[in-house]
Structure 1
Amino acid sequence: MSMMFRLLACLMLAWHLSAAGVEIVRFPRPEFDGDRRFDYPLQLLQLALSKTGTEYRIQTAEFPMNQERQVLEIEAGRTIDVGPIPSSAERETRLLPIRIPVNKGMLGWRLGLVRKGDKDLVAGVGTLDDLKGVRLAQGHEWPDTNILRANGIDVITAPKYEVLFKMLEGKRFDYFPRSVMEIWDEQAINAESLEVEPHLALHYVYDSYFMVNRKNTKLAQDIREGLEKAIADGSFDKLFLEHFGERLRKARLDKRTVIELRNPLLTPETPTNRPELWYDHRRGR
């Protein structure tokens, strides 16, 4: 009965909002309680939609979903309408991407989580060849896995995000590359067992885009126009730095050994010719 009641309540709310001229936009729910990775993209989407001529209301999905499930649900037009999807040529073909990097390219700047006391395991790593001797891991469906493998790096994988932290603790691998935006929250959750390695950074051109169903051109156009307005008036950068400015300072990217990796998943449409869309840690914006 409770499930039926919730379903009826959702239907009544959707009908009421539709009658009031409000457009519902369904957004993914994080993979587990305490997963903060969607906080910023949700606020960025709210910011973009607030700058359109349409009144939108964002609802989060009923159940959690990983990256590939998000792609499947959007592609099928089922439980979500838009997600901040890490890009690849395949995903950009299956879905309709709004090619403005959600995280200003910082998804491609990676620091490493290691077990407490084990940071010396990668202290001598300075080149790609050195990195090939390190046991590292990523999610099974993540584009990062293919990027690392394309650079000749062996990658251990797991189907669930939260399992990777337990695998690292259990010495199944030694180095877990995470974006500079995510790693501090993740280390805080696992503070008793894991620390941020202080020496190394990996970099490849890579980020998430908001992606929608290929038929949902109206929503795509509104998100695109809203993001462009937010870029022009400075509110995009303001929100980004409110969320990540301190984390970027803590990362000390200018003091780290940076290993540049190629990304074979980039499409020709990647807006690398627009520097205002990509954060430059040397300029602080």
Structure 2
Amino acid sequence: MKNMRKGFDRLIGGVVILVLFAFGMVSTVSAETFRMAVPKGSEDNFAFQIGAIRLAIANAPGEHQLEVLSVERLTQTRGLTMLRSGEINVIFAGYNPDFSEEFLQVDFPITRGLQGYRLFVIRADTQASLMRVKSLEDLKGFCIGSGQGWLDTAILKDAGLCVTEAPQNNLISMLENDRFDMMHLAVHEALKRDRVQQLKRAGLRVEETLLLRYQYDFFTYVGKNDKIRHSLLEQGFQNAFFSGAFNEYFRSDPSIAAAMDYIRQSDRRVIDLDNPGIGPKNDQTAEQYWLTE
């Protein structure tokens, strides 16, 4: 009788565990800590990207946390070094084929491709000439300032455009001093109040008639062998997207919302460029996430 009782207890215990699993009360996913770094003092500039990653983690299976380190004079190069060494275990960066080879890329474009919708910043005396630009061929008559090391720079060059490369922090002063005809910024970056004020102080303005567009965005990367965090982030972004949580977050960001309204209401002439750097994996896997405006 005692053996039968033990057997019955084991059976009941097994049934209880199965029920708990069925109702999600026992987690099979270990709690992970995600660590990323941003330049100290730039936390507000990257608030949308940080929030998007935090949202993905919240929508991934299990209970996890994100730690954000503020690092003095952090560059992308240093951030990648920290990822390689294990000081951090997740990073976001503009798509780069080299990154997708060295690290595991989470195939979710963080701004849904809005990063590839670009406005030109110009001196006021350039506007009249740009009114006559109707095509890519017309645009080749102007020289564009673009960030050193930006994949955008390679996209513009591959399209046959005249490009002057310079460190990002030097672009505005170089444009102001007539080193090139224009520079480019993502729509949601160009329309930010502090950016508009910065341009105004430099005697610059957003060009009125053109929109440059190509497939480009920030992606999230983890170490090549960090398959657990990679899987959690992919599941988290996917869950957030299909539940509507990501689009709600996307539309609630003031600069993103302003950019989307601006694009919808604008009658700008759109010049589309190819981005040969976005490989087949991105086109097939993440196609559903990209904007179709």
State the TM-score, normalized to the length of structure 1. 0.82
Equivalent residue for 1:71, pick from 77, 80, 84: 80
CA contact (8 A) 1:114 1:196 kept: yes
What SS does structure 2 have at the residue aligned with 1:190? helix
In the other structure, the counterpart of 1:208 is 218
Offset, 1:272: 4.8
CA contact (8 A) 2:143 2:163 kept: yes
**Structure 2: runs of 5+ lacking an equivalent:** 1-29
CA RMSD of aligned residues (A): 2.2
Offset, 1:208: 1.6
Letter in 2 for 1:167: M
- Following the alignment from structure 2 to structure 1, what is the Cα–Cα distance between the partners of residues 286 and 223? 25
CA contact (8 A) 1:136 1:174 kept: yes
- Following the alignment from structure 1 to structure 2, what is the Cα–Cα distance between the partners of residues 131 and 194? 19
In the other structure, the counterpart of 1:133 is 141
In the other structure, the counterpart of 1:168 is 175
Letter in 2 for 1:180: V
Q: Does 1:269 align with 2:281?
A: yes
Identity %: 26
Which stretch of the first structure deviates more once superposed, 134-143 or 108-117?
108-117
Offset, 1:273: 6.4
What SS does structure 2 have at the residue aligned with 1:65? coil
What SS does structure 1 have at the residue aligned with 2:270? strand
- Following the alignment from structure 1 to structure 2, what is the Cα–Cα distance between the partners of residues 79 and 63? 15
Change in 2 beyond 3 A, CA 1:245/1:265: same
Offset, 1:109: 1.1
Offset, 1:36: 4.4
More helix by share: 2
- Following the alignment from structure 2 to structure 1, what is the Cα–Cα distance between the partners of residues 156 and 132? 19
In the other structure, the counterpart of 1:191 is 200
- Following the alignment from structure 2 to structure 1, what is the Cα–Cα distance between the partners of residues 109 and 173? 30
**Structure 1: runs of 5+ lacking an equivalent:** 1-20
Which structure's CA Rg is the greater one? 2
- Following the alignment from structure 1 to structure 2, what is the Cα–Cα distance between the partners of residues 68 and 155? 23
CA contact (8 A) 1:71 1:91 kept: no
CA contact (8 A) 2:92 2:220 kept: yes
Q: Does 1:246 align with 2:258?
A: yes
In the other structure, the counterpart of 1:50 is 58
What SS does structure 2 have at the residue aligned with 1:141? coil
CA contact (8 A) 1:61 1:79 kept: no
What SS does structure 1 have at the residue aligned with 2:153? helix
